[in-house]
Structure 1
Amino acid sequence: MRWGDRTVTMLALALGVAVLAVVPTAAVASAAPASAPTVAPSTAEASPRTAPRRRWKPARGPVFNDPTGSPKQRVAIVARIRDAISHTRRGDTIRISSYSMDRNDVADLLIKAHKRGVHVQMVFNDNTISNTQRRLQKVLGKRRDRPSFLVFCRGSCRNGPGGNLHTKIYSFSRSGASKDVIISSSANLTYGAAFAQWNDGYTIRDDRRLFRTWVGVFRQIARDRKSTPRFVGYSSPDHSVAFQRELARASGGSTEVQAARATGGDPVIQRLSKIGCRAPQGFGAGGHTVVRIIVYAWYGERGDNIARKVADLQRQGCRVKVIGSVLGASAARMLQKAWIPVKAADWDFGDRISTGSDDEIVYGPRCYSHYKFFTVNGAYDGVGVRATWTGSENWSRVSLGNDEVTLRLNGRPDYRRYSARFDSMWSDPDATHQVGVEPTRRPCAYS
């Protein structure tokens, strides 16, 4: 059966994931392989550097993994995180906020860093807790008033119960010769993020004001208490960052969601509304603004509202292309009706164990794009731009109740890297396919 043909309950999991069809024995769809892939770690993966070097600096800018590529390409993002951990020294502080973790290689490096005097502070969502996290917590402890700890949030952390902690930020007060290092990613610290998902990561270093903003947000996250304001922002000429939770709650009755999100109050619609389709000279293509969107979960009422806005952009003269993974059938129809080219990046459909539970069997893709970015080349907020928006937020109702992060990256270099990534996914038959089908082929490395 196709996505639009199933008359089943549609649920959402904590990763901000849309859910796929329910099978007779379970009800929730999964966002990633529930356990480590059955592949032996390669030499490139198994041998991270462990001796800190004072002159080493983390690479700036974007990094992308490829679950269908070489061993080095699969672990490109986690390798950057491992290197940053390995180059911390006594007195430095590592702060990690993520949804999930099962990578033992990263855990081993964090334990080594802790033993050499690095403060390691980690906060995770509590939907799933792995043996790796339990092992780390035994070493780091769970007292938030200590220099090192590992704790789990009951909800979205900064706003109490309801929602989820969905940011994936790996930060270092110092790593090698660089200070104030932030790696924001769509990837969790899981094997599935490398072997079964396409993800991105972006590194910013030596931006003291941004780092201070992040540390303030992290301390709120770690306290796991309601905090105000829900939105915390930072801006510079090169990049801006939004830490956000839009709604006081996004579970239970949906009246609040319907009232707030059917309007321009949605942060995604607010961003899209600033796009103008007549590109200034020197921008866009043939006088038209070019928009490229690749988002993992895009479905439901919120997804439809966003799809209507994107369709309007196409009708106004923008040149839009879209890649979705969990793309709702109604949202896909709206986009296609507006003559927007649309492809899907989801593979190997079948039964699997849910990441939201240790024993629920779910149906869905086991290989897919986990990106959440879009690019604009043309008119934005009245001026010509080449810009990229990326981060952790999916285009579904669940994300409205989550702690999320969105980066805006300004300028040609980052725009070119992200646009090239979109184009490579679009043209690769092992990455994207026709919308509305459920391939059983297995292009990802885990299979």
Structure 2
Amino acid sequence: MCGGRAQVGRDGTHTCRRVAHRAHVTRIIGSAVAACLILAGCSRPGDAEPVPTPAPSTTAAPTPTPSTSTTAPAQAATQKVVFGDPWSRNQHRVHAVVESALSIVNATTKGQTILVAIFSLTSPEATDAFIRAHQRGVHVQVVLNAVIANKPQVRRLRAALGTRRSARSWVVVRGGDVRMHSKFLLTSGRGKPPVVWVSSGNFTNADGRDQANAALITRGDRQLYDFLATQFDLLSHSVNDPAQLGRSATTATSVVQAYPLPEGGAANDPVLRFLSDVSCRHGTDQTTIRLAQLLFRSERGYLVPRLRQLQADGCRVLLIGHMRGFSKDVQQALTKPGSGRIDLRSTQGTILHLKVTTIDGWNTAGQRIRTALVGTHNLSGRALADMPGQGMNDELTQVTTNAGVVRSFDTWIDDLIRDHSAPVRYR
């Protein structure tokens, strides 16, 4: 992964090159990678640089996972983050997340393949882009959440692409008992580097107008593409077994984890694991932890003591959210006076739809870390595993150590707190 090796191009894209493993890997990463290999649910890290925070261990899927070739030449991979700014007067900035996906779609040529897994599709512009791609000979394959199966834009897309999986293009609805909340778009073929777009937002006008969202775009990471292409196949076949769906992989740029897991709870929580190896002080320097979350439900309330402990230990913990998505008991536990009280902030004027946690500081071994956990995964029970009476979701988390990308997330969260939030008082 990139870590401190990122190179920033003139267009703001952050480039990393795959390098050999370091001889000294932190204990937590060593155990995470070993667990992945034993379970066969992860690809081998190969020559990717070690990640400072591990993916959660899960039951492995019997489906193929990416493999690393030790003889293939090193390839450049880039990552770039795009933010949708609903407070802006510039409509391109408002709808930047959807437009970033449509730019990828519009760049495809005859013989390429587009794979799309999306929770909601109501944007005519997105439907038009997929239909045009199909008409110019691109293989367009789409899996949609069942709730939107009869929406007008879905009917248009189904009429244009058809529903026969034996055809080169098709639209299917994700069946079964799992709500498809994943949001990703993949392109490949014709000798072009694979492109992976993972977003907190959907293909809707509300995605930009009423919500603050982000998309992480990765180019040239074949392992990441292959992992998500396999996940797409599971979704399109309506696989419901968490033992098959809860897969993970370490790739050239990312640690990626799919959900639901066979079991939830603190022992399998990706955010709690992400925050487990943190040192709050390094000499006179301070670690900063930032969270921007749409939801924070009671069933994930065990995260609160960890956040307060980090704050009490000297970390700077910044948490902004959409309070309609935060359980009242969670709000109270975060803001209750006393050691480790969190300065909780609520966005004003629009919905914060992000699912982001970042660390800028040091781990317990005294190593400098700058990393982000992003994707579609809300802090709710059903985002992690099956919840009685609620069900479960298809989700994704993606961990990156690309310094430029993480810095962009940090700056965006700081700007939201400064310009578009108000404090949440303890009641």
TM over 0.5: yes
- 1:104-138 CA-to-partner distances (Å, cap 9, x unmatched) read 11111111110111111011111233110111011
Contact persistence 1:178–1:205 (CA under 8 A) = no
User: Aligned with 1:210: secondary structure?
Assistant: helix
Amino acid of the structure 2 residue aligned with 1:333: Q
1:273 aligns with 2:276: yes
**Aligned-pair distance for 1:381?**
6.4
User: Aligned with 2:331: secondary structure?
Assistant: helix
TM-score using structure 1 length = 0.71
Contact persistence 1:123–1:150 (CA under 8 A) = yes
1:317 aligns with 2:317: no
In structure 2, runs of 5+ residues without a counterpart are: 1-76, 385-391
Contact persistence 1:125–1:153 (CA under 8 A) = yes
**Aligned-pair distance for 1:74?**
0.6
Contact persistence 1:311–1:334 (CA under 8 A) = no
- 1:87-108 CA-to-partner distances (Å, cap 9, x unmatched) read 1111111100010110011111
Of 269, 289, 292, 1:291 maps to: 289
Question: Percent identity, aligned pairs only?
Answer: 26
The 1-side partners of 2:285 and 2:79 are apart by 32
1:110 aligns with 2:135: no
The 2-side partners of 1:146 and 1:389 are apart by 36
Write out aligned runs for 1:221-236 (5 A). Answer: 221-227=235-241, 228-236=243-251
**Aligned-pair distance for 1:59?**
8.3
Query: Residues 178 and 193 from structure 1, CA distance in 2 versus in 1: closer, same or farther, beyond 3 angstroms?
Result: same
**What is residue 343 of structure 1 aligned with on the other side?**
345
1:413 aligns with 2:404: yes
**What is residue 76 of structure 1 aligned with on the other side?**
96
- 1:294-326 CA-to-partner distances (Å, cap 9, x unmatched) read 100112222x11222211221222210100112
Query: Residues 376 and 63 from structure 1, CA distance in 2 versus in 1: closer, same or farther, beyond 3 angstroms?
Result: same
Contact persistence 1:385–1:411 (CA under 8 A) = no
The 1-side partners of 2:330 and 2:303 are apart by 8
The 2-side partners of 1:146 and 1:346 are apart by 47
The 1-side partners of 2:403 and 2:227 are apart by 26
Write out aligned runs for 1:20-39 (5 A). Answer: none
User: Aligned with 2:302: secondary structure?
Assistant: helix
Query: Residues 236 and 101 from structure 1, CA distance in 2 versus in 1: closer, same or farther, beyond 3 angstroms?
Result: same
**Aligned-pair distance for 1:436?**
6.0
**What is residue 167 of structure 1 aligned with on the other side?**
182
Amino acid of the structure 2 residue aligned with 1:197: Q
**What is residue 256 of structure 2 aligned with on the other side?**
241
Contact persistence 1:144–1:223 (CA under 8 A) = no
**What is residue 302 of structure 2 aligned with on the other side?**
305
User: Aligned with 2:180: secondary structure?
Assistant: coil
The 1-side partners of 2:158 and 2:277 are apart by 44
Contact persistence 2:221–2:252 (CA under 8 A) = no
Task: Count matched residues.
Answer: 334
User: Aligned with 1:241: secondary structure?
Assistant: strand
**What is residue 185 of structure 1 aligned with on the other side?**
199
User: Aligned with 1:397: secondary structure?
Assistant: coil
Amino acid of the structure 2 residue aligned with 1:185: S
The 2-side partners of 1:87 and 1:411 are apart by 25
In structure 1, runs of 5+ residues without a counterpart are: 1-57, 155-159, 249-259, 348-366, 438-447
**What is residue 159 of structure 2 aligned with on the other side?**
138
User: Aligned with 1:220: secondary structure?
Assistant: helix
Contact persistence 1:323–1:426 (CA under 8 A) = yes
Amino acid of the structure 2 residue aligned with 1:410: T
Query: Residues 381 and 206 from structure 1, CA distance in 2 versus in 1: closer, same or farther, beyond 3 angstroms?
Result: farther
- 1:211-256 CA-to-partner distances (Å, cap 9, x unmatched) read 11111111111111235433222224532211221247xxxxxxxx
1:152 aligns with 2:173: yes
Query: Residues 60 and 120 from structure 1, CA distance in 2 versus in 1: closer, same or farther, beyond 3 angstroms?
Result: same
**Aligned-pair distance for 1:172?**
0.8
**What is residue 109 of structure 2 aligned with on the other side?**
89
